[in-house]
Structure 1
Amino acid sequence: MIQAATETAALAATLAEPADPLAFTATPCPLGALLDTAARDYPDRPAIDFLGRGLIWREVARQADAAAAGLQAIGVGKGVCVGLCLPNTPYAVIMYFAVLKAGGTVVNFNPLYTERELANQVADSGTRIMVTLDIALIHDKIAKLAREGRFDHVIVCSMADALPPMKSLLFRAFKSKTLATVSNEAPYLRFARLIGGAATPRPVAIDPEQDVAVLQYTGGTTGVPKAAMLTHANITANIQQVLATNTMIERGAERIVCVLPLFHVFAMTAVMDFGVAIGAEIILLPRLDMKQLMATIARKRPTMLPGVPTLFAAICNAAGTGQDFSFIRFCMSGGAPMSLEGMERFRHLSGSPILEGYGLSETSVVTTTPPDRVKIGSVGRALPGTIIEIRDPEPPHAILPQGARGEICVRGPQVMRGYFNRPDEAAKTFIDGALRTGDIGYLDEEGYLFIVDRIKDLILCGGYNVYPRVIEEAAYQHPAVQEAIAIGIPDEYRGQAPKLFVTLRKDVSATEAEILAFLNSHLNRIEIPKAVEIRETLPKTMVGKLSKKELVAEEAAKAAQRR
């Protein structure tokens, strides 16, 4: 169905109506309507806090409308891709909704990508308009691509202008070396000039079911970067699904800390879009700085804290004796499995349980979440309107019975339309209309989902399947282990053998032999690591998830040298 932009506020208001989980039907609407509704219902309530500078919902909507009109003036409309290469700043929120209101498609770029990675994504998506920040570390990579003629327009936002007045003065005085030299010639356009024209954009007829709102790049199940096409209906349905399972949310009163990067689908949907939908104050931090994060938590007293396991572990380590976290009511963990020990540490600190959900870029992000109660080791039950199937991985046509381990496949209104310009990849990813996630898991008798591991991370030891997560969970039970990654390494006798990498907690010691001896009593013979290696740090992704690929490549290189 096509809904004119002028009618979307009324449609978006359906988000305020509680859904019956047993008879859930999503009400598709353009994403821009979420911001219109927040500005209508909570015009003077705090919307964004950025390092102490606050914006109210009316002001965020005003700037987004002006930016949308500015984008339309330079050619943005239906189907036009606009890249956002921004860290967490108010511009990331404003420009996201501005692109959507102008009728365009958002393409999220990681600001710390190399020039080569940025160039590849620009070419693959067909992005000709890029939005970035005047920080040299980010801007100069975009500027190099601009000199190669890759962009028609580069919109540059001012970091100093986003800060509170005193911090802005100090930034200009003492951080000037971090600023880029921004050209005033084409294709460059300052953000202040972009929003200096018409106050409102021309109405655009959005078909929520068909029009792509976001191209979200992901390695998917093959490791080849490709863009999941997320429609307006996909993302708004996912927000409605989450709202249907959270009856304690207080609209217009929640405060969400956002240190997760908004260019990642977790923060984009579960923090920004969800926060706008409920009129929450979104507390933005540009990067993970533990001192800054802890001070912000104490200053703003957030009620919601989304994160990944490593973030919750870092907060536990940084918390001072007697520090109060009782104001946090909802903690959501995703992106990677969270150990039971990690959950208990944070619950003891804050009194708030961590709700561990499951999702991926291809499902707009959320697929499961704990309902009325948490089951240890489970990522919850399917969201309303979502069907989870456990299928035999090879071939994937057979649906397995309850309790059997197999590939997790998903159906629901939040599942992507496909991969952009990759029909071959989409054909591999869907089976009988269900999305293949590449994860191994099982459903219990109450429909709770348990994740076993990634298919690609499976270790094949002499014909036996060994799941790295089982080894990692055992390692976390050791009192000295802070982080753990298990991978498969080449083994002449068994083909592959497990190897465990760990970091240790501060002020706690252990030897590799002691950890290995501990694991002998917690794992079966096949699962025992061939070696344990203690390191100062372990590789992480930009979101903060522990990353295996660097260690796999390192061990493969060692094996090649021994040949």
Structure 2
Amino acid sequence: MPVWNPAVSDIVIRDAADIAAIEKTPFDQVSNAKSAYEILGIQAAEHPDWPAIIFMTTPDPDDPAMTLTFRQLFGRVTQAANLFHELSEGEPPVVAEMLPAMPHAHMTLWGGAAAGVAMPLNFLLRPDQLADLMNAAKVTVLVALGPNPAVDIWDKVLQIKDKVPTLKAIVQVTGEVAPELNNVHAFDAAVGAQPADRLVSGRGFGLDDVAAYFHTGGTTGAPKLAQHTNRNHVAMAFAVGRMWGFQPNKGVLNGLPIFHVGGALDAGLAPLASGAHFLLATPAGLRNPQVVQNVWRIADKFRLDTVGGVPTSIVAMGQVPVGDADISCVKMALTGGSPMPVEPAKQFEGRFGIRIHEIYGMTETAGNGTVNPRFGERVVGCAGLRAPYVEVKVAKFGADGTPSVDCAQGETGVVMFRGPTVTPGYTDPRRNEGVVLDDGWLVSGDLGRFDENGRLWITGRAKDLIIRSGHNIDPAIIEAAMDEHPAVLNSAAIGMPDEYAGELPAIYVTLKEGATATESELHDWLAERISERPALPKQIHVIGEMPLTAVGKIFKPALRWDITRQVFESRLKGLADEHGVAAKVEVGDVPGTGIVATVSLSGTADDKAAVEAAVNERLGAFTLQPYRIVWA
């Protein structure tokens, strides 16, 4: 019995017509599985000896690596589920995990979902944030990495274990359990003692059962817990697997953490559901610079079909020479988390002959929304076609903050999703207001437009979130710390365009009358109060007054325009010396397109094409900021 109905799984997706052909089959007839657990069980029965997870403990591909087959993975997931059921004393467990990229993380995720509800946690969060999330979810079991000199996960566990009243047990991964700790169990021994052939709970699965909580809000801010149902996971696995065309018994590089939907779902469950396997390249994944430096040797050694990562990782891979590695096996590169810069994408593809395929989605859509299909026409910089069974629209919003009318083709509006991958809502229903609507639509907060071929283009964000290399940074956290300074009147944090990270945090500040403070002093003030390094502003600008709306609110778009102008003009300074041409940049809204930087060139140039090429070379790597060139 296969995971997928051949009536839909045999259709190769190239364009919107293929997606429509798939949707002639109702979604509830797509799969023989009603949960990720059942997906893994079917694969274990169909392909027991195929690899499911390969784990490199070091970044050197010549060192020994661990392989889990589908049979072994499913057995361990079953045992983990049974352990979590036992430790929760018969109650449906809520299993939190604080683990780096290692097989135990995926065993815990799907074992927790099989027993009750799984909740991967970003171990970079502060202990108080982790405790708040665990209390909101009423966590009963915590699985965490033991003492390790490279990361402080266990130190955080010790700080929060007594702050979660519902917590019944802790399961320690690696290392000996300290005898003085109560209700702490060694993962391998405790899991290994459980039955591997059945769920002791006797649980059955429904598509609408809640399987997981994924927090959103990034490494700073106030994270929210989005609920994922079995339907969300099954729909995601089908849609992403078909759009990206994962091949049976072929390998996918998974360099993302388990608490990110990309690592857990897009490059995790989706390959497994297609009979493919994924490679975990050290616990740090692509955050390990040695993994990036060895990426082509790794691809060669393990004959990977697919590599991928957030855009900054792809850019870094693009700088690594192939050397003696044979990368003819690599057919595709995947990216998501933030838009891929066009120029680095073209350079990557030109250098390696490997096409990059983007995905656009959210934690609230199980990481799925629109995808550039593997076997279809791919347009660099485009978010792709809507995935099967997912509705995507672009809408205008009225003064009351609700969608008023759908946008026409080519018109910019707020991107919205509806379908089987969309969350039923947050654990705190108050969070749903204005985001998860009563009619099933999810408001993304992103701005986009559709072209004539049904492709979605992301043009900006309606919300103020700063995305730095895939990390979501809440500007309110930066502003709250800055506003505590005795000399500061008010502040506004925004995203500053950056070639590598997409955005970097920057902040504008006005001072109280008669007060003084240098930008260096303000930077030192923030450095003492912002614990998450990605959120520390790269630039601080002290200005005379803030741009305000008619009702007196700070008008952040004007600040974004100003910082973009400064960044672009700084990159274009050399044009005068090299080509005798001056460049002036103006940034603002262009109807139907969104925010656009206009580069006005003036001066006498014998070769205007060469000048424009120089501009493109300097500005082409910026991710979210479109620009146009005009001659004065």
Does the alignment reach a TM-score above 0.5? yes
Q: What is the aligned counterpart of 2:69 among 51, 56, 69?
A: 56
Distance 1:183-1:241 versus aligned 2 partners, 3 A rule: same
Opposite residue 143 of structure 2, the aligned amino acid is V
Q: Distance in 2 between matches of 1:546 and 1:115?
A: 33
Matched, 1:250 2:247: yes
SS of the equivalent of 1:53 reads strand
1:5-404 aligned at under 5 Å gives the runs 12-14=3-5, 17-18=9-10, 20-27=21-28, 29-51=34-56, 52-75=65-88, 79-102=92-115, 104-136=116-148, 137-148=152-163, 150=165, 151-158=167-174, 182-183=178-179, 185-199=181-195, 200-202=198-200, 204-219=202-217, 224-246=222-244, 248-251=245-248, 253-285=249-281, 286-287=283-284, 288-293=287-292, 294=294, 295-321=297-323, 323-371=325-373, 372-394=376-398, 395-404=402-411
Distance 1:442-1:13 versus aligned 2 partners, 3 A rule: closer
Q: Is the 8 A contact 2:251 2:305 kept in 1?
A: yes
* Post-superposition offset of 1:486: 6.8
* Post-superposition offset of 1:121: 1.0
Q: Is the 8 A contact 1:328 1:350 kept in 2?
A: no
Q: Distance in 2 between matches of 1:114 and 1:241?
A: 35
Aligned length: 480
Matched, 1:452 2:459: yes
Q: Distance in 2 between matches of 1:499 and 1:245?
A: 37
Opposite residue 330 of structure 1, the aligned amino acid is M
Q: Distance in 1 between matches of 2:582 and 2:5?
A: 55
Q: Distance in 2 between matches of 1:322 and 1:503?
A: 39
SS of the equivalent of 2:77 reads helix
Structure 1 residue ranges without an equivalent (≥5): 1-9, 159-178, 460-467, 476-480, 505-509, 531-544, 548-563
Q: Distance in 2 between matches of 1:546 and 1:124?
A: 35
Distance 1:194-1:364 versus aligned 2 partners, 3 A rule: same
Q: Is the 8 A contact 1:254 1:281 kept in 2?
A: yes
* Post-superposition offset of 1:244: 3.6
Q: Is the 8 A contact 2:52 2:70 kept in 1?
A: yes
Q: Is the 8 A contact 1:24 1:384 kept in 2?
A: no
Q: Is the 8 A contact 1:216 1:230 kept in 2?
A: yes
Q: Distance in 2 between matches of 1:515 and 1:39?
A: 61
Opposite residue 145 of structure 1, the aligned amino acid is I
* Post-superposition offset of 1:148: 4.3
* Post-superposition offset of 1:77: 6.3
Distance 1:515-1:131 versus aligned 2 partners, 3 A rule: farther
* TM-score of the superposed pair, with normalisation by structure 1: 0.76
The residue aligned with 1:536 is none
How big is each residue's C-alpha offset from its partner over 1:89-126, in whole Å with a ceiling of 9 and x where there is no partner? Answer: 11011122212222x10111012222122111111111
* Post-superposition offset of 1:26: 2.3
Q: Distance in 1 between matches of 2:23 and 2:256?
A: 32
Opposite residue 267 of structure 1, the aligned amino acid is G
Distance 1:337-1:202 versus aligned 2 partners, 3 A rule: same
Identity of aligned residues (%): 23
Cα RMSD of the aligned pairs, angstroms, is 3.6
Q: Is the 8 A contact 2:372 2:383 kept in 1?
A: yes
* Post-superposition offset of 1:425: 2.7
SS of the equivalent of 2:170 reads strand
- Shifted more, 91-100 versus 392-401: the winner is 392-401
SS of the equivalent of 1:195 reads helix
How big is each residue's C-alpha offset from its partner over 1:207-255, in whole Å with a ceiling of 9 and x where there is no partner? Answer: 43321111011129x9641111110011101111223434x5321x210
Q: Distance in 2 between matches of 1:355 and 1:78?
A: 43
Q: Distance in 2 between matches of 1:529 and 1:135?
A: 53
Q: Distance in 2 between matches of 1:307 and 1:377?
A: 16
SS of the equivalent of 2:369 reads strand
Q: Is the 8 A contact 1:486 1:499 kept in 2?
A: no
Q: Distance in 2 between matches of 1:92 and 1:265?
A: 13
Matched, 1:499 2:517: no
The residue aligned with 1:557 is none
Distance 1:494-1:143 versus aligned 2 partners, 3 A rule: closer
Distance 1:181-1:194 versus aligned 2 partners, 3 A rule: closer
Q: Distance in 1 between matches of 2:576 and 2:335?
A: 29
SS of the equivalent of 2:26 reads coil
- Shifted more, 196-205 versus 335-344: the winner is 196-205
Q: Distance in 2 between matches of 1:483 and 1:520?
A: 28
Q: Distance in 1 between matches of 2:351 and 2:91?
A: 48
- Shifted more, 42-51 versus 11-20: the winner is 11-20
* Post-superposition offset of 1:37: 1.4
How big is each residue's C-alpha offset from its partner over 1:290-323, in whole Å with a ceiling of 9 and x where there is no partner? Answer: 3234143342231112311100111112335565
Q: Distance in 1 between matches of 2:251 and 2:352?
A: 16
Structure 2 residue ranges without an equivalent (≥5): 12-20, 57-64, 467-493, 509-542, 549-557, 589-595, 600-621, 625-632
Opposite residue 353 of structure 2, the aligned amino acid is G
* Post-superposition offset of 1:196: 3.5
Q: Distance in 1 between matches of 2:199 and 2:456?
A: 44
* Post-superposition offset of 1:80: 2.7
Distance 1:488-1:443 versus aligned 2 partners, 3 A rule: farther
Q: Distance in 2 between matches of 1:522 and 1:367?
A: 38
SS of the equivalent of 1:237 reads helix
Larger radius of gyration: 2
* Post-superposition offset of 1:35: 1.1
Opposite residue 352 of structure 2, the aligned amino acid is S
Q: Distance in 2 between matches of 1:521 and 1:61?
A: 60
Matched, 1:439 2:452: no
- Shifted more, 493-502 versus 297-306: the winner is 493-502
